[in-house]
Amino acid sequence: MRITDVDVVVTCPGRNFVTVRITTDEGVTGVGDATLNGRELAVASYLRDHLAAQLVGRDPLRTDDTWHYLYRGAYWRRGPVTMTAIAGVDTALWDIKGKVAGLPVYQLLGGRARDGVTVYGHASGDTVEAAVEDAARFLDEGYRAVRVQSAIPGLESTYGIGGVSTAGTHAYEPADAAVPTENVWDTEAYLDHTPRLFEAVRRELGPLPRLLHDVHHRLTPNEAARLGKELEPFHLTWLEDPVPAELQDGYRHLRQHTTTPIATGEVFSSIYDCELLIRERLIDYIRTTVVHAGGITHLRRIFDLAALYDVRSGSHGATDLSPVCLAAALHVDTAIPNFGLQEYMQHTPETDAVFPHSYHFEDGMLHVGEEPGLGVDIDLEKAAEYPYQPASLPVNRLRDGTMFHW
Ligand code: CS2
Ligand code: MG
């Protein structure tokens, strides 16, 4: 069997997605997500202009050799653009492998290790009361875990609150989408408010629901240690991205001061970005994803390393990761021994129509389909109805205008 065509489809059903579609000489096709929010065209060009010609003629079943061919062959290794491009190709090849084998991909990854994939939803609110109410709604819908974010008094906008599309992710304002909107941030206001949010959530919802919170890279290690300590009475399942992840030494300080579980990794693109955090048990959950960490081939290596150190998976699953990524993630989540949680922000109906899939939500869990491959595809006609729209994520400044972390 040989690869004959590598197509890169950019479509924007409410937000941009990049999909790799690989065709073989025996007519088998596979799809892979290659979306990098706000930098989509960089990945599309990497695939179209630098990888496609190298892939035609290759044996699609040689997934490991192809992965190393693209990783070692790039010379300029790692980074989100390179690893997202490799991820798109790798995921499409695993889809083909499953179809050729006549098995759902999780069967090729060790078989079913659990009945379903426990997910968490995103509760939020402009006030603490609204956030508590929203969290209760998710629990009523059967979710067994919920992330809770609320607006910060005195701040016009806060990550994860308001200004979001119906899909619950970051709305694009087409008028100025090419230029990021600027938000204002105040760390002290956030640190003062957040313990009160979780005090209210636990008072109203009780001690059992699994609660998560995303700091979104905005604290120093000492500020994060303070927040972690103040949240200890509320027993979070995880505090996410407490500090920017470049200087990982900061996690040692954090770990010395709080038992609040830590999750990070959605911005990581390789095992080398998280090896120290895992090996020193500085985190409890690793959030790397199929689409941004080199595909199924590399992600399973990260999770296998994590399993050695009792670190569990907690893959990112915002709506800027397409249903193709989510379907692939669910196959990995279904098979690995150290599964923790899977993020699940529901895509819009338009997105689901562009990416027909067989996974489904039931009883607080997502369940993969049993058909050969990943159980997801791209409807090329529908995708063509939604041309690319320039879009970028917001940026953050402090009240004095200092450029900060978004
Ligand atoms: C967030 C994401 O879901 C999360 O945990 O960190 O929504 C993140 O902001 C976006 O995926 C960025 O594109
Ligand atoms: Mg996050």
Query: For 301-317, what is each residue's pLDDT tens digit?
Result: 999 999 999 999 999 99
Has residue 328 got a pLDDT over 60?
yes
395, β-bridge pairs: 182
Query: For 256-287, what is each residue's pLDDT tens digit?
Result: 999 999 999 999 999 999 999 999 999 999 99
pLDDT category of residue 176 using cuts at 50, 70 and 90: low
Q: How far apart are CA 1 and CA 111, in angstroms?
A: 25
pLDDT category of residue 19 using cuts at 50, 70 and 90: very high
State which ligand 1 atom lies nearest to the alpha carbon of 37. Answer: 13
Instruction: Please indicate whether residue 214, judged by its CB atom, sits closer than 6 Å to ligand 1.
Output: yes
pLDDT category of residue 156 using cuts at 50, 70 and 90: confident
Query: Which pLDDT score is estimated for 8?
Result: 99
Judge whether 298 counts as a catalytic residue: no
- Give every strand in the sheet of 403-404, ordered side by side: 182-185, 395-398, 403-404
Name the 3-class secondary structure at 139: helix
Query: Which pLDDT score is estimated for 158?
Result: 79
* CA of 305 relative to ligand 2 center, distance in Å: 22
Q: Which tokens in the block code for residue 347?
A: 């895509």
CATH of 117-370, one of 3.20.20.120, 3.30.70.141, 3.90.870.10, 3.40.50.300: 3.20.20.120
Query: For 41-52, what is each residue's pLDDT tens digit?
Result: 999 999 999 999
Which residue ranges does the chain devote to CATH 3.30.390.10? 3-104
Which residue ranges does the chain devote to CATH 3.20.20.120? 117-370
* CA of 214 relative to ligand 2 center, distance in Å: 5
Residue of the CA atom closest to atom 2 of ligand 1 = 318
pLDDT category of residue 160 using cuts at 50, 70 and 90: confident
CATH of 3-104, one of 3.30.390.10, 3.30.2350.10, 3.90.1150.10, 3.40.640.10: 3.30.390.10
- Ligand nearest to the Cα of 240, by number: 2
Instruction: Please indicate whether residue 169, judged by its CB atom, sits closer than 6 Å to ligand 1.
Output: yes
- Give every strand in the sheet of 3-11, ordered side by side: 3-11, 17-24, 29-33
| Mean pLDDT score of the chain | 95
Residue of the CA atom closest to atom 13 of ligand 1 = 37
